[in-house]
A and B are shown apart, each in its own frame.
Chain A
Amino acid sequence: MSPAFGEPRRLPAIPDAVPGYEIRPAAPGDEAALLAFHEPTFGAPASTGSRPAVRWHWQYRGHPEGQAMTLARRLSDGAVHALVAATPHRVWVEGEEARFGLFTDCGQHPDAPAPGGVPLFLAAAAAFARDHAGRGKLAVLHGRPSPAVRDLGRFPEVPGHALDWEALRSASVLVLEGRRFARTLDALPPLAVVTEPSPGPEAAALFDRLKPEFGAATVRDEAWFRWRYETHPLHRHVLPRVRDGNGGLRALAAARTSDWPLPRTLLVLDWLCPAGDPEAGLGLLRRLVETAEARSCTSIAVCLPEWTGWFERFQDIGFTVRPTGLCPVVRSFHRPWSEDFLRRRWYTTLGDLDL
């Protein structure tokens, strides 16, 4: 029954325990039940990009920072009915290093109960936050939950969200259409660009040089690049780099072919180039245009925050800015790194998401 006119509504309390379920951190032995949870929850892998076992192993077992995972398992048959999982990653933020968590597999089985009207998922999420979130643990949780999962914390006729997730931004994408490739190449300097061997310690040195331009950014070092791009089980990436002639790097990108956001796109997932070295960035972009042409791609796309110098510079070259529909969410557990601060100063690329 609705409250009287002008009277407050309250979000329901999230229970610590749900009868008939155990809510706990994932443990060895849960893997089969977790994999069985995926298809009924997220749909068939082919249609959703969900997790076949090979991707599962890459995401969780192969990740240099390990995993954080809380599940709700039905006691009667052991079936997993809710899962909250995040991939921890190191983040340079305001001059210090912290750990953030990227939500990677969050969802609720269609058979999951909602005791007292509160979905089981919220109880698992609250337990996850108690175990893993906070200063000194995962200071910030972020990701791109499906609208269905995101809305599990909302209740009819009650304002607010039980998990306090807040949208980080509506991500834009810079797109260079193929009809502009030839004219763009004319404007870009030819520089020596390497793609082999894999990025080594010089990648971390480039990141260290670049990070004062950001308020926060995922630490992009040799291990991260290897895990994120070279060992990815589903996609082959190319990592072109401009060297500085002294063993270091001036600029680095990571890209692969994709049908998002447009068919036959060379999707640039990462872009590391100081704003003060436009020649290196433009030379790197030249290689990306050449790669796109060689792969018969009809566009190049890159997502960068609007406050970066390269967001403007890419437009000068002929890129246009379009909406993506991507709205990552964020929840900060450390007040100085507020959602608003992260919105304005966190350098994120598509490489920060599980795309």
Chain B
Amino acid sequence: MPPPPGDPPVLSHPPYTIRLAGAGDGPGIVETFNLVFAEGNPWFVPRTLPEWNWEFVENPAGRQAWIAVHEDGTVAAHFAGLPLRAVADGAPATLAHIVDSYTHPAHRSGLKRPGLFVRTALAYVDWFMWPDRNLVNFGFPVPAAWRIGAGQVGYVFVRTQNYLALPAARELPRPTAAAETLGAGDPLGPEVERLFRRCARGGDVMAARDAAFYEWRVRRHPRLAYRIGVVRDGGELRGLAVYRDGAYTDTPQGLLVDWLVPDADRDAGRALLGWARELAREGGQNQAGIVLADTDPWWLPLQELGLRARGTKYVLVHGDVGRPAAPSGERLRACWRYTLLDTDLA
């Protein structure tokens, strides 16, 4: 049984306290984050407090970070997820992308059997990793993190992630619909959620989309610039996509980081694909890539339109700690639909 909702426990392991992070913990978390990830990485760009606030405090789906704090106030370990509101079989659910797992270098031997990092992770597991809290706890771990995560967070395999790439030179079938780029001040309203409801099929597991999500995730992103493309039908939306120039799996390219188009509306899909290709050409990119599950209803139609499937360096996993009613890897492989916008990869 999950612990009762309300205030989570505060665990005392002197000289450390392990607890759920609050908004006031931002400065200490950012300081340790920048120390850890600057190690051996000359290209590291330090994270700022406004960026942390955007990611962990302003997320409309909530805040999910457990920290171990030394008695001198240092944030010594951190284990977090980025929650996403979602639907699963038509019911509300939460998914979480596991991110930013680390221990302060001066505290890596802070506790023994289990160590400080594991104790911090276990608190996250015991508080959040229940199907009625986080239905899915996913990540794209590097091999070392996978090995640790398999033992502590129960990482099980979902798939080796492939993606689809549209060569910028490729000509596309001409759509009858027209896609347009939304201006920064163009309003997003309840028509977004209505579009999402037309896209999500009965058995899907899918992160929810509405105006609040795009306002936070796309328009208020503190570092990255995205463009939102839509196909309209009067006051309704036939489709919505999000694009930015970037890199994925070590390949510079245009990225269709979100794709919200009913699978029956191929014409709207063609229009948004053409829109993305034009942006890729303008940006000097060789291709536009889109990450989808290979069981997504658009996986095959997009290939029919000229996109090519390619491998990536990423393996998608989810944390399964043996909770009753938690989805299996097979189930998630079959019915979980996602895009890069559900992750912190783009």
Residues of the B chain whose Cβ atoms lie less than 8 Å from the Cβ of A305: 311
With an 8 A cutoff between CB atoms, is B108 at the interface?
Answer: no
Question: Of A9, A147, A320, A327, which is within 8 A of B304 by CB?
Answer: A320
With an 8 A cutoff between CB atoms, is B151 at the interface?
Answer: yes
With an 8 A cutoff between CB atoms, is A343 at the interface?
Answer: yes
CB distance from A134 to the nearest CB of B (A): 19
A-B pairs with lowest CB-CB distance, top 8 = A306-B311, A159-B154, A167-B157, A321-B309, A170-B159, A340-B143, A169-B160, A323-B294
B151 near A306: Cβ-Cβ < 8 Å: no
B11 near A5: Cβ-Cβ < 8 Å: yes
0 or 1 for each of B120-158: is its CB under 8 Å from A? (1 = yes): 001101110000000000000001001000111111111
B143 near A338: Cβ-Cβ < 8 Å: yes
B308 near A172: Cβ-Cβ < 8 Å: no
Considering the complex, which residues of chain A in the window 4-20 have a beta carbon less than 8 Å from any beta carbon of chain B? 5-9
A157 CA / B321 CA spacing, docked (Å): 5
Question: Of A172, A320, A327, A344, which is within 8 A of B162 by CB?
Answer: A172
0 or 1 for each of A324-352: is its CB under 8 Å from B? (1 = yes): 01010000000000111001100000000
A274 CA / B267 CA spacing, docked (Å): 40
With an 8 A cutoff between CB atoms, is B320 at the interface?
Answer: yes
With an 8 A cutoff between CB atoms, is A307 at the interface?
Answer: yes
CB distance from A10 to the nearest CB of B (A): 10
A327 CA / B156 CA spacing, docked (Å): 12
CB distance from A324 to the nearest CB of B (A): 9
Closest to B125 in A: A159
CB distance from A84 to the nearest CB of B (A): 21
With an 8 A cutoff between CB atoms, is B330 at the interface?
Answer: yes
With an 8 A cutoff between CB atoms, is B218 at the interface?
Answer: no
With an 8 A cutoff between CB atoms, is B18 at the interface?
Answer: yes
A306 near B309: Cβ-Cβ < 8 Å: yes
Q: A159-B125, A167-B157, A170-B159 are in contact. List 11 more A-B contacts (CB 8 A).
A: A5-B11, A5-B127, A159-B150, A159-B152, A170-B294, A305-B311, A320-B309, A323-B294, A325-B330, A340-B143, A343-B315
Residues of the B chain whose Cβ atoms lie less than 8 Å from the Cβ of A136: none
A278 CA / B50 CA spacing, docked (Å): 53
B303 near A321: Cβ-Cβ < 8 Å: yes
Residues of the A chain whose Cβ atoms lie less than 8 Å from the Cβ of B313: 344
Closest to B163 in A: A306
Closest to A323 in B: B294
B311 near A157: Cβ-Cβ < 8 Å: no
Closest to A320 in B: B303
CB distance from A318 to the nearest CB of B (A): 10
Closest to A11 in B: B151
A315 near B322: Cβ-Cβ < 8 Å: no
A8 near B114: Cβ-Cβ < 8 Å: yes
A321 CA / B294 CA spacing, docked (Å): 9
Interface residues on B, range: 35 or more
Residues of the A chain whose Cβ atoms lie less than 8 Å from the Cβ of B3: 5
Residues of the A chain whose Cβ atoms lie less than 8 Å from the Cβ of B125: 159
Residues of the A chain whose Cβ atoms lie less than 8 Å from the Cβ of B152: 159
B321 near A158: Cβ-Cβ < 8 Å: yes
Residues of the B chain whose Cβ atoms lie less than 8 Å from the Cβ of A259: none
Residues of the A chain whose Cβ atoms lie less than 8 Å from the Cβ of B11: 5-6
B311 near A170: Cβ-Cβ < 8 Å: no
A305 CA / B329 CA spacing, docked (Å): 21
Residues of the A chain whose Cβ atoms lie less than 8 Å from the Cβ of B309: 172, 306, 311, 315, 320-321
CB distance from A254 to the nearest CB of B (A): 24
A156 near B300: Cβ-Cβ < 8 Å: no
With an 8 A cutoff between CB atoms, is A160 at the interface?
Answer: yes
A9 CA / B315 CA spacing, docked (Å): 25
Residues of the B chain whose Cβ atoms lie less than 8 Å from the Cβ of A159: 125, 150-155, 319-322
A338 CA / B142 CA spacing, docked (Å): 13
Residues of the A chain whose Cβ atoms lie less than 8 Å from the Cβ of B159: 170, 323, 327
Residues of the A chain whose Cβ atoms lie less than 8 Å from the Cβ of B155: 159
Closest to A324 in B: B294
Residues of the A chain whose Cβ atoms lie less than 8 Å from the Cβ of B321: 9, 157-159
B150 near A315: Cβ-Cβ < 8 Å: no
A-B contact pairs, 30 of them (CB 8 A): A2-B1, A5-B3, A5-B123, A6-B11, A6-B18, A9-B321, A154-B322, A157-B322, A157-B323, A158-B154, A158-B321, A159-B125, A159-B150, A159-B320, A160-B154, A167-B329, A170-B157, A170-B160, A170-B333, A172-B309, A311-B309, A312-B308, A315-B308, A320-B304, A321-B303, A323-B294, A325-B330, A340-B143, A343-B160, A344-B313
B122 near A7: Cβ-Cβ < 8 Å: yes
With an 8 A cutoff between CB atoms, is A166 at the interface?
Answer: yes
Residues of the A chain whose Cβ atoms lie less than 8 Å from the Cβ of B123: 5-6
With an 8 A cutoff between CB atoms, is B105 at the interface?
Answer: no
CB distance from A5 to the nearest CB of B (A): 5
B333 near A323: Cβ-Cβ < 8 Å: yes
Considering the complex, which residues of chain B in the window 1-46 have a beta carbon less than 8 Å from any beta carbon of chain A? 1, 3, 9, 11, 18
Residues of the A chain whose Cβ atoms lie less than 8 Å from the Cβ of B156: 167
A155 CA / B322 CA spacing, docked (Å): 7
- Assuming the A-B contacts A170-B333, A305-B311, A315-B308, are A327 and B157 also in contact, with contact meaning beta carbons closer than 8 angstroms in the complex? yes
Residues of the A chain whose Cβ atoms lie less than 8 Å from the Cβ of B322: 154-159
CB distance from B332 to the nearest CB of A (A): 11
With an 8 A cutoff between CB atoms, is B174 at the interface?
Answer: no
Residues of the B chain whose Cβ atoms lie less than 8 Å from the Cβ of A158: 154, 321-322
